[in-house]
Amino acid sequence: MAGQSIAVLAVIAIIGTISCLPCVSCFTATTTVRSFALSNPQHSFFSTKATETEETELQSSLDSASSRIEDCKRTLINQCNSHKLESGYSSSIDSSIRNLEQLGEDLGFGQASSVSGLLSGKWELIYASDDITRSSPFFWAFRRAFPDNSDQIFSITDAIPEPIKMIGPATQEIDLDASSRGTFVSRVKVATLGGVATSIMTTRAAIMGAEGVDGLRLKVESTKPEESTILKKLGPLGELINSNSQPFPSGEALERAAPGSSEVVMVTTYLDEGLRVTRNKDRSDDDVFVWVRVGDFGGGNTASL
């Protein structure tokens, strides 16, 4: 049985591969205000005795910090939009990501992503340092389950050129409650044969809780190809098959292959209302992804401070 599960997981990994923005958040701005007050006690703007001059200086400081963050974000987004998503790693984009992460940490913007209340919603991938499919937590878990074989399996499908294989777009939907628990859905469009056959490889995971102030522990539960164009061509019969087919319990299979492998940690190193930078904790230097929010901020449950 274990051998069958491993084989099925390997097939899913292969099929899964071949088959601007709003201003900085109130939370991060508040963090900057608090930091400014602590490091500059003479500027006690919370006191009723704060002078108009002190308030003006504070506002000027906040405006300057916000402007630097916005400039850094604008550069990163423009680079991502000019870079083909399927092209993978870019040294210039990687440099801009690190600049934004460092600047955000220094100024107190985009931090404490696990508790800021900004993660919930739908996000679309605009940059992946590796193959687009690696944005799915299933592939993170697959590496944990098969550390010696995963790269070899991935390399087989990664080498398939367009138009035989086309990947993207990729989206993620996050619904997080005040206790940093909730649901996580990853969708990656996979097209083969020049787009004749397409499907959406969908991985569902449970958000088990926060890992520090910037990490979320995800437990992979299931994987299923959805919206298959091949099935749609079968008309009502295809729709019946699609609606009644059960997702593969990939999480259980991963656990049988290597206990604990179905759980991974997603680290969000920068987050505001419209932009998100995430890393796979197991491969923080290799698996880096940039996401932009789809639609207005406010959908789904959000945590609050």
Mean local confidence (pLDDT), 178-183: 94
Give Cβ neighbours of residue 251 (< 8 Å, ≥ 6 apart).
141, 205, 219, 220, 221, 222, 262
| Closest to 124 (Cα-Cα) out of 301, 295, 303 | 295
Residue 9: predicted pLDDT: 57
| Residue 302, in any domain of the structure | no
Q: How much is the mean pLDDT over the chain?
A: 81
Residue 24: predicted pLDDT: 37
The predicted model scores a pTM of: 0.77
Q: How confident is the model at residue 175 (pLDDT cuts 50, 70, 90)?
A: very high
Distance CA 244, CA 223 (A): 15
pLDDT 10s digits, 8-28: 555 456 545 444 333 334 334
- Name the range with the highest mean pLDDT among 6-10, 37-41, 202-206, 226-230: 202-206
| Residue 227, in any domain of the structure | yes
Distance CA 109, CA 61 (A): 13
Higher model confidence: residue 254 or residue 31? 254
Residue 98: predicted pLDDT: 97
Residue 299: predicted pLDDT: 47
Residue 157: predicted pLDDT: 77
| Residue 300, in any domain of the structure | no
| Residue 118, in any domain of the structure | yes
Instruction: Tell me what percent of the residues of the chain surpass a pLDDT of 90.
Output: 55
Distance CA 163, CA 172 (A): 25
Instruction: Tell me what percent of the residues of the chain surpass a pLDDT of 70.
Output: 71
Residue 36: predicted pLDDT: 41
| Residue 57, in any domain of the structure | yes
- Check pLDDT > 60 for residue 305: no
Distance CA 172, CA 189 (A): 12
Higher model confidence: residue 221 or residue 163? 221
- Which residues span the domain enclosing 190? 2-40+48-294
pLDDT 10s digits, 64-121: 888 999 999 999 999 999 999 999 999 999 999 999 999 999 999 999 999 899 999 9
| Residue 26, in any domain of the structure | yes
| Residue 94, in any domain of the structure | yes
pLDDT 10s digits, 124-154: 999 999 999 999 999 999 999 999 998 888 8
| Residue 34, in any domain of the structure | yes
Distance CA 85, CA 81 (A): 8
Into how many domains does the chain fold? 1
Distance CA 45, CA 41 (A): 9
